[in-house]
Structure formats: C-alpha cells, structure tokens
Structure 1
Amino acid sequence: MPTLHILLVEDQQDNISAWNDRAATHNADAEAHGFAVQTVTARSVAEAQQVLRTQKPDAVVVDLRLQTEGQMEPNDHGNALVRYALGSHPVAIAIYSGQRQEAEVGDVPQVEVFDRGDGLDPVFSWLARQYKMLLQLRTTRDAVERETARVFFRSIWPRWKNWAKDDGADIGGMLARHVVAHVHDALLDADGGNAHPEETYFMPAIKERLDTGDLVKYEDGLWIVVTPRCDLAQEGKVESVLIARCADVSKRWNEKPKEQPRIAQHDGSHKLHFLPPMLDHDGKQLGPWFVQFNDLRAIPVAQIKELLTANRWASLAPQFVPSLVERFGAYFSRIGTPALSSP
C-alpha cells in the first residue's frame, strides 16, 4: 500500500487535531482509497522549510496565516512558504485557509486553494486525484538520486576533485551540468535508448532569450526557429532570424495509424522533419507536425522580441535540436543535377 508523505503547515492545535482525525479516518479505509497518508506537522515557515529540505514530502498543506513569536497580528507567511516550495521543491501544494482570497497562486497547476469552511474532505479528494502522479514524481526523484550516486563517485569525483581543492574556484554550476549530463545519459541507456514523445519538448520555453528549436506562434500558425544557436547567442551577428512553418498532421496520424511509422520517419522526404505529438495541460493532443524546410520566413532582428520571443510556446529539448539542425543543413546543402530532356 503506497503512502503519501504530507507536510501540514499549521500553528493552531485545534486545526492540527482536526487534520489528524481526518487522516486517521482516511487510513482506516486506505485499501479502498488506494493510498495511506503520513503527516509531519510544522508550525512555522522555518520549520516547514527544514522539513522540505530533509524529509522530501510529496505534498504540502499550508495555512496562510502562521503566528510567529512576538507577532500576533494577521500575516501571509503561508504565501511566502508557497513561493519557497515552488522555487525549490517538486511538491503538490494545497492552501487550506479561511482567507483563500489572500492566496497568491498565479497560473501554477500544482497549487490548489481550499476554503477552510468547506472542511477537509475536498483536500483529501484532491490528494486522491494527485497521488498517482506524486508517486511517479517520487520514483523519478529516487531514480535521479540513485544514478547521481552511481556516477558521481565513479565518473565525476575522480576528475573534479582537484578543481574542488581551489577555494577560489566557483565550479558549482559547471559540476551540476556535468552531473546532470551523466545522469541523463545513464537513464536514457537504462530505457534501451527509448524516449517518450513528451521528452521532446520544454513547455513553456525555459530560456528567456530566443533559441534554436523554439516553437513560436506567428501569423496564422506554428513555426520553429532554425537559425543556428551560435548566431542567436551573439547579439548583432545576424540581421534576421529564420523560422520554418510547422504543418499539423494530427488528422492523418490519428486516422491512419498504419502510416505512423512512415510519418515518424519524416514521410521519406528530405524537406520535412517530424515533431511528435504532445499533450497540453488539459490532456488534449497537440500535433504531430512536419517542419517544412521549404516554407521559411526571415524575421528582422529588430522585430524578434515583438514577433517571436513574446510568442514562444515551447522549445525542443536540447537532445532533439541537433537532428533538426542536421536535417535542415542537409536539405540546403544538397546540390542536385539538371533535369534531363527527353531523347
């Protein structure tokens, strides 16, 4: 029976007792629910941060107003904790408060706000909807930590230990990138080199600046940036950015499944590049698409921020950008021969 580890951030004993009673009722029928809950309580933001760092809970249930020593007036310390958790820990968050209108959430799908007046049943219903994803997240975290431990001392530490001796060298960022690269390659190899279609994309785009492989909404459709990364990284190096149209082929993909292998191989055409389907936040299928190297637009650098950067929708993950660039280069580097006249 899987167990969800919950961090309850609450400073009122009556509310803590009410949660514990409801959790006990849930656990008494855990088999029917599919999971049990185990609760750790923190009474302040500082205590909650310590639990997040050391115990790695699956979900956080937080009250907005948390009293601190010497301060009895109303506050919104719970919002501060939510911001901290969102910025540093992959957890689901439930704000459970009598002042739900004061919750600062924004467009963050893993945060839900509940009115204390509705009782705890809605919170436990929310946990029931989230627990399978939270268990998958835990599995992901365990896999990353396991591979990190495996590669760090075998591959990373022997090479980097001498760099770490220099107290003046700030190698944290470099070391983190090297570890992540090792872990990614190890996990990909563990799956036989197979990747899920969703791994193709970062959605939304992560980088602030425009980059090769960025998918942008422009004019009447979806386009992808094909200008080389080195040109985009150096301001002033190019006068325009090249984008290629992405043609939606979802109808053919869905209605003719026998053709999917051919579609996934770029339909046998040198002027096309296949991008697999993805699901949006609501579970709706988007794509797949063919990048059309024969349908290009050149956007002046002066208009990049207005027309492209502001309309970025997603990005290709780094491991999928090289194949796009390689096929694009091969398309333009072909020489061809003159057409032959009839004898």
Structure 2
Amino acid sequence: MKFSIRLLIVEDDAAAINEWGKHFERHNAEDDKSFEIIPTFAESFELAKEAIVATNFDAAIVDLRLKVPGGGGHHNADGNEVVKLLANAEMAAVAIYTGQPEEAQLPNGTSKIEVIPKDDGLETPMQWLKGQGEMLFHIQKVGEIIRSKIALTFHGSIWPRWKNWSTHSRFSGANSDLLISALTRHFVSHLHADLLESTNEVAHSEEWYFVPAISSSGISTGDMIRNESGAIEIVVTPRCDIAHSDKSITLQLAQCEDISVEWNEAHANLTVEDKKTVEKAKNKISSFIKHRSKNVIHFLPPMFNKDGNIEGPWFVRFDCIRSEKKSEELLASLNSQRFATLAPEFLPALVERLGGFFSRIGSPDYPSHHLE
C-alpha cells in the first residue's frame, strides 16, 4: 500500500513550521513507510481557505490560535473556523493540535475529529496521521472510482438527456435550484446502480444503514429507535401516514430481537478444525440471513454504531408490533432516541415481508392420517 497523503498544516509559528518540515523529511526518507506526505502550510484562516479551494486534502492538522494579520502579534481562534470549513468541504481526516484543547469546537456530526494537546510534542500528531493511513488509502480509491464512473455516466447518459431537459420549452423556465437538485439525484442514482451492478449486487452489511440517522428529516419508516429501556425497535408505519395527521392516528414500531450471541458463536465456529462444526456454523449463518425461512421475522445485519461499537444483528419481529398514539411529543421523543436508519435500498425488502406476513390467509392442515 504505497500512496501519498495531501496534508494541510495550519500553523502560524515559523519555528513550529520548520519543525514540521523536518518531521516530514524524515518520514518520507524511511524505507518502510506506507505513504508519503505532501504538506501544504497555511498561516491564517484566509490562506487555509485558499488552499482548501485549490487542493483536495486527505488530512489536516490545525492549530487553533492564529495570528491576527496586522494585529501586532495578537491571536484569534480562527483555527475553529478552519476545522468547520474542512468538515463542510473535504473528505479529510482532521486533528486539532493546540495548546488550548479546551477551546476546541467540534462541528456537529464530526465526533471523530481528534484533539491533541501541544504538550505531547509532534510525535503524537504524527502517530495519529499514521493511524489514518489505511482509511485514507481507501477513501482515495473511492474518489478515483467515483470520478471515473461519473465521467462515464455523464457522457453516456446524463449529458444527452439533460441537454434536452434544459433547452426544451417545457423545462426551460423551470426553477434552477430544482433542476440542480434533480440532476444531482440523477447522478447519484446512476452511480449507485452502476457500482452495485459491478459487484454482482453483493453489498457490505454497513450499506444497510445510515448512522447516525439523517438529522434533517423527521421520523420516517425504517428509523431504528433505542427506547427508554434500551430495547431496539424499528418504525414500520408508512412515511405518508407519519407525515399527515389525517391519515393515521397511531405510529407502529416493531421489536428488533438481538441475535448477536448466536451469530457470534456461529462465526467463532467457522475457525475451528472440525469440518462438521464449520459446516454447521455456515448453515446456521445462512439460516439467519434467510430469515430462518419464517414469514414472521426479517433479518438485519450487524452494524457499527456512531461510537465504533458493533450492534446486532437483529430479527425484526412482525408479531411484536406496538402502536402509539401519534403526537408532536411522541415524534420528538422518538427523534431523540433514533440512532440509525435503514437505507432506502434495503427498506423495501422489510416492508414487502411485513406486508406478506399480514396478507397471508392460510388454510386448514391436511390431516396426517390421510397419508397412512
């Protein structure tokens, strides 16, 4: 794994910049390094902003207190503004390296930003950077694939169709923001379909979820809730019934049965030497994934939560659904308790199985004595 990390260093002290440069030279001279560091130095918020516009950075290390231009040596807290800008503009690993760690302000949704006290010396942020190497390598590869796929999609599908949309008389007067939003969604849907097809529609378990749930939307079908008792439930009420008070007076939540103990035992048995035990474990895992061939449950794979801990897998129990009278208070409470959302590509399978479970009529059993 040999690659380069484009690193932004936001620091206004000349001696510190010189010391950083020496560390990078020593690192890049190492024979066993997994990546090379390409540094860019910025001494103020304005210079950092210009650098971010000009370069796609993989990582950044930011000092909080920067000198005020023409301020006679006075400092400000513009480093927090740089961090906010990075969080909104870059797919980059970010660390705050400061002598005032208590002044660090982490933007919402960016809990993984590291705060490193300057008392620890430069070796600590260097070790942090090395620890990000594998993730940054994969993020770079993701970017390369996306750019390649977008180019093919643009020339093969998007441009021929949208050129007509934007010039056709029916659409020429349409709201520009609406067209841009539609074009963005069209790009993303093409890209997702193309990438899924390229892997023969095999998905990673993490693709099942949005973690954390999308904060800009209200409670919706597929939201996963951790209630007051710690139990996990999933919202199964149709989103249109949630959004409109005149359609339904209640909201339904299905219990998620934690099957992690059996799941983990089965996976542990995959590594034993006894072939029968391994085969039995494989069959058990396959049975889980196939919902144990029962209509009453739906399998959801394990996930990493926002703290990096594994939760699940679960069986959604269609025979354990509770109804709550819909109210603004209930929706607000559930909104504070939700920790994940089932991704749109995987929600229809849950809804389809739920509908299939309740639409069954069944028939009397054929008496066994007729078989004798």
User: What secondary structure is seen at the aligned counterpart in 1 of 2:346?
Assistant: helix
Mapped pair 1:248 → 2:249: no
User: What secondary structure is seen at the aligned counterpart in 2 of 1:32?
Assistant: coil
Structure 1 residue 231, shift from structure 2 partner: 1.8
Spell out, residue by residue over 1:86-140, the C-alpha distance to the aligned partner (whole angstroms, 9 max, x if none).
Answer: 1222111111122222111267343111222321100000011111101111111
What is the TM-score with the length of structure 2 in the denominator? 0.86
Distance, in Å, in 1 between the alignment partners of 2:143 and 2:247 is 41
Residue type of the alignment partner of 2:117: D
Please tell me whether the aligned partners of residues 163 and 169 of structure 1 are also in contact (alpha carbons under 8 angstroms).
no
Gaps of 5+ in 1: none
Alignment match, 2:273: none
Please tell me whether the aligned partners of residues 57 and 90 of structure 2 are also in contact (alpha carbons under 8 angstroms).
no
Q: What percent of counterpart residues are identical?
A: 38
Distance, in Å, in 2 between the alignment partners of 1:307 and 1:39 is 46
Work out which of the residue numbers 221, 226, 233 in structure 2 matches 1:217: 226
Work out which of the residue numbers 170, 176, 185 in structure 2 matches 1:169: 176
Alignment match, 1:156: 158
Give the 5 Å matches for 1:37-48. Answer: 37-48=37-48
Distance, in Å, in 2 between the alignment partners of 1:155 and 1:141 is 20
User: What secondary structure is seen at the aligned counterpart in 2 of 1:327?
Assistant: helix
Shift of the 11–162 alpha-carbon distance from structure 1 to 2, 3 Å rule, reads farther
Alignment match, 1:296: 321
Runs of 4+ in structure 1 over 6 Å off: 340-343
Shift of the 342–141 alpha-carbon distance from structure 1 to 2, 3 Å rule, reads closer
Alignment match, 1:192: 200
Spell out, residue by residue over 1:259-295, the C-alpha distance to the aligned partner (whole angstroms, 9 max, x if none).
Answer: 0001100000001100011233555431111000011
Gaps of 5+ in 2: 267-280
Please tell me whether the aligned partners of residues 233 and 254 of structure 2 are also in contact (alpha carbons under 8 angstroms).
yes
User: What secondary structure is seen at the aligned counterpart in 1 of 2:66?
Assistant: coil
What is the TM-score with the length of structure 1 in the denominator? 0.93
Please tell me whether the aligned partners of residues 33 and 128 of structure 1 are also in contact (alpha carbons under 8 angstroms).
no
Alignment match, 2:293: 268
Give aligned pairs, total: 342
Structure 1 residue 338, shift from structure 2 partner: 4.2
Which range is displaced more, 126-135 or 157-166? 157-166
Distance, in Å, in 1 between the alignment partners of 2:106 and 2:287 is 44
Distance, in Å, in 2 between the alignment partners of 1:104 and 1:91 is 17
Alignment match, 2:275: none
Alignment match, 2:277: none
Mapped pair 1:285 → 2:285: no
Please tell me whether the aligned partners of residues 241 and 298 of structure 1 are also in contact (alpha carbons under 8 angstroms).
yes
Which range is displaced more, 101-110 or 284-293? 101-110
Alignment match, 2:25: 24
Alignment match, 2:90: 89
Please tell me the root mean square deviation across aligned C-alpha atoms, in Å. 2.0
Please tell me whether the aligned partners of residues 212 and 306 of structure 2 are also in contact (alpha carbons under 8 angstroms).
no
Spell out, residue by residue over 1:281-316, the C-alpha distance to the aligned partner (whole angstroms, 9 max, x if none).
Answer: 555431111000011001111142244221001110
Residue type of the alignment partner of 2:299: F
